[in-house]
Structure 1
Amino acid sequence: MALETALAPLFPFPQLPAIPLVDGSGLFPVRRIFCVGRNYAAHAAEMGDEVDREAPFYFTKSVFALHPGGGMLPYACGTGDYHHEVELVVALGRAGFRVPVAQAGALVCGHAVGLDMTRRDLQALAKDRRRPWDVAKDVEHSAVIGPITPAGDWAGPENRRISLSVNGVVRQAAPLSDMVWSIPELIADLSRYYHLQPGDLIYTGTPAGVGAVQPGDRLRAEVEGLEPLELVIGPLPE
């Protein structure tokens, strides 16, 4: 029996997410989400870990975990300890493979404020059992991101600060210079393992001060010079 040359999908193809540019001039289609672990020594210490200064390490989130913009952020199901982690996000606009550090900056097309929301209780359980972090990190709506500021419109992370407040009280605050691995170093290292492409996002790690959120909490995430993120945590799932 001849194989059909054109097969109809069993259900509609999913629509991939896109993030608006801060000036409203276009959309950034998202391809992949890479996240950097333990890129701030103080955060690693508060989690009982140490920074591996030989090389960065990563985990990933599905593009379907993306939550563009602020507004209402659903509280994740399956957890009683949902944590905020504010991060600087790097958006890539060019392809690259085995890119030297000195050339890595050319791949960047913009930056944004992001949140890596985490089921902390499930992450702790996974660590204890030496299991992957997927169910703790790759959570629906957990890759929060604000509009992207084009690279040419932001001077870069030098002398900039990152912070997050909950109900008006600052919980996380640090200079971006506290990052163990710089943006060019992260891009160059990732490009050893992946053919980086336009549409890839890199969440560059979080400073110390992570903590649990509760329904009704109001969060404001900021990186100096970028559009801030403001959102409200939704009710507990039924």
Structure 2
Amino acid sequence: MVKSTQIGPNGPWSAMAYAILEEWDAEWAAFCRAMSTNAWTSGTLTPRFVELVAVALCTACTNLDRAGVRQHIRAALGAGATRNEILTVIKMGSVMAIHSCSLAAPILREEAGSEALAASVRPVGETPACDRMKAIGQWNTAWDPFFQLDPSWTDEFMATGAGIYGAGVFSPKETELLSIAFDASFTHMYAPGTRRHIKGALAAGASVSEIMDVLKISVGYGVAACNLAVPILAEEIELLERTRR
């Protein structure tokens, strides 16, 4: 078994997985490392923000990569990120689960039909969080179907989300770039949100290169497959060889 070594910058890599892979296939490992760590070395995004994007990718409710979360929280803190910034990213990773409703609520309305929908109508009551978002032009019409199905719960959700996005922890540009990472991630691939947040990032002053580097971090995180499986393969080969002795 190859012992863990430090490679810098690690980027999305587990040092142990990379060391094993480098021993087995040095050429492919070098190509893959250059590609997957490009956003860490390009200088387009600050080291702090690169690591925050990596935290977002790992902590997203569609991914939940425990080892990656710890690795990139540690690196983000080392690069100057604050507890509040990292906690905000974690909160963002939680509320992205709303896309379950964005996807399914319109389908539910279509399939249920008018009679079933009429029978399930809930009293609207007061919806201050939704009203506030509509008043400031932040309401997304993709939320209309589940608002119509359950306005009270939708308002509870919007109050939760507004507390994150309205806190001013990140600049509008950084908020949009992080949102792109969540939606474009290969574990999510939510096209409507990706387009909306790319438009928002451009409007907030992000460059094409900055957005592209967020996407490169997302692609580079494909090496999570190596981080997970290469050490297991090495362990199983070592176990098999021991049983044959």
Q: TM-score, normalised by structure 2?
A: 0.23
Structure 1 or 2: larger helix share?
Answer: 2
More contact order relative to length (CA 8 Å, sep ≥ 6): 1
Whose strand fraction is larger, Structure 1's or Structure 2's? 1
